[in-house]
Amino acid sequence: MTDAIRRAVYEKYIAPTKAERPDYIGVEIEMPVVNLNGEAVDERIAIHTAEAFSAHFGFEPEHHDAEGNFISAKHAETGDILSFDCCYSNLELSFGKAAGLFEIKERFENYIRFLNSEFAKHDYILTGMGINPAANINRNQPIKNERYRMLYHYLHSYPQHTGEVAMRFHARPDFGTFTSASQVQLDVRCDDLIDTVNVFGLLEPYKALLFANSYLPDFPEYLCVRNMLWEHSMQGYNPHNIGMFAKPLADTDELIDYIGTQSIYCTMRDGKYVDFTPVTVNEYFSRDSINGVYFDGETYRTITFSPETSDLDHLRTFKFEDLTFRGTIEYRSSCCQPLSEALTVAAFHTGLKEKLPELKELLEQDNVIYTHGFSAAELQKLLSKRHLPQWLDEAAIEKQLLRILDLAADGLRKRQRGEESLLAPLYRRTALHTNPAKAMLEGIESGIPISEFIRQYAAI
């Protein structure tokens, strides 16, 4: 990595963590739009509902697709954004930075009540699942704009790269159109940055047990298939771009070195997105030229261009703990939750952030899952599946989960906002050794139709 690029990486990622600022919470919740008649979502209905929402709540439209259709709108006062993510059957609510969780919860529930009252007119519903239950029915086509067209093209390029990397690609490159996440961004101080990344990485296997809510019949062994879909796609061409860090980071210099090993796969030239075979940051900025392709409005064309320092803005990674240019860590591994429990993800992370030293001690001394020779990354994959390894003691896991939840509750009590009550669903899941995906599958196997869970997970 050249000195100039190293400085650029530092200024983009590390410098913001040193700025003095209040602690805020950012919440993003993606949700599937479902046609309750068992048919594909009609994009016109989804778009019309989003437009009605914007008019009702005073959101100003921000972006439209190539045909003039609504993509997103923003509320000037709160900073809240309603948008479609990847396609018109995945709706996202992104909340402006907030000091407390209940102000987000109140607005979220008001928004959901309106959206589902509008969707109900067409026998549609917005529900709380990490996989759209109509994933094999919907069109699963990208929104017609530069970014999503590029992403769809890039993900579908995987057959050209089979054999280039030591990874098996799955055959669902359309996964971005039917996966829904619950993400939270929390401000991080430079002094806490490395511990936060390392400690929350150790937490990932336990999070898989608590928050799994993405079942896809194509991969029946998974309760949380979202992360596998990301990792075994072109997003995982370079494993440093996705998932977990293979080993703990020592300091910010090592984090900068790691960023140099992550790959860039797209940029923009003359207002057009260009995608190309992923190239590590270190190699990218050492080359004189890069070969890529872009869509000219009718077809894809090849292009050769020279790297520019500003291309670093298009480094798109999907780490479970992803350091952003805002001086925040975005926690990305959790599925969308049942809508009545939508704020559990944010509450869990917010509380544990307040108890980082105690969480570090608890997990570094963990003898429940970390004494069997498996790394955190390996355990996260194992605990994302429906059947746990026989060598794991479920009673011991329950006790450790309770310790973790108690720490989160203590951290929220420290904030003196009553937010610890938002963790109640996680205590119930822990006592029952369940999560939303497991509860749904067991219900379906006992004769309850999936339509009942679609409605149940939509309730607030």
The mean per-residue pLDDT over the stretch 18-23 comes to 92
- pLDDT at position 293: 98
- Tens of pLDDT, residue by residue over 235-258, are 999 999 999 999 999 999 999 999
How far is it, in rounded angstroms, from Cα 275 to Cα 179? 22
Kindly state the average pLDDT of the residues 123-149.
97
Residue 1: is its pLDDT beyond 90?
A: no
pLDDT tens per residue, range 90-121: 999 999 999 999 999 999 999 999 999 999 99
Give the single-character DSSP code of 279. Answer: E
Domain ranges, ordered by start, for the chain: 21-142+180-247+318-456
Q: How confident is the model at residue 201 (pLDDT cuts 50, 70, 90)?
A: very high
Map residue 89 onto helix, strand or coil: coil
Q: Per-residue pLDDT tens for 113-130?
A: 999 999 999 999 999 999
Confidence of residue 398 (pLDDT cuts 50, 70, 90): very high
- Residue 157's nearest CA partner among 235, 211, 213 is 235
15 contacts: CB under 8 Å, gap ≥ 6: none
Do residues 146 and 160 lie in contact, with contact meaning Cβ atoms separated by under 8 Å? Answer: no
Q: Kind and range of the H or E element at 277?
A: strand 272-280
Per-residue pLDDT reduced to its tens digit, 73-94? 999 999 999 999 999 999 999 9
What's the CA gap between 203 and 425, in Å, rounded? 18
Q: Write out pLDDT tens, residues 349-377.
A: 999 999 999 999 999 999 999 999 999 99
- Residues 436 and 75: their CA atoms lie apart, in Å, by 31
- The confidence band for 407, taking pLDDT boundaries of 50, 70 and 90, is very high
Write b or e for each residue in 159-182: b if 16 or more Cβ atoms lie within 10 A of its Cβ, otherwise e. eeeeeeeeeebbebbbbbbbbbbb
d(CA 304, CA 288) in angstroms, rounded, equals 10
Res 328: pLDDT? 97
What is the reported pTM? Answer: 0.97
Separation of first and last alpha carbons in the chain: 50
DSSP annotation string for 7-58: HHHIIIIIGGGGS-----EEEEEEEEEEETTSS---HHHHHHHHHHHHHHHT
Q: 275-299: per-residue pLDDT in tens?
A: 999 999 999 999 999 999 999 999 9
- CATH code at 21-142+180-247+318-456: 3.30.590.20
Asked whether 221 and 162 are in contact (CB, 8 A), the reply is: no
214 neighbors 135 (Cβ within 8 angstroms): no
| CB under 8 A, 24+ apart: contacts of 164-172 | 164/237, 165/237, 165/238, 167/231, 167/232, 167/236, 167/237, 167/239, 168/232, 169/232, 169/233, 169/234, 170/219, 170/228, 170/229, 170/232, 170/233, 172/216, 172/218, 172/229
Q: What is the pLDDT of residues 178-193, one digit of tens each?
A: 999 999 999 999 999 9
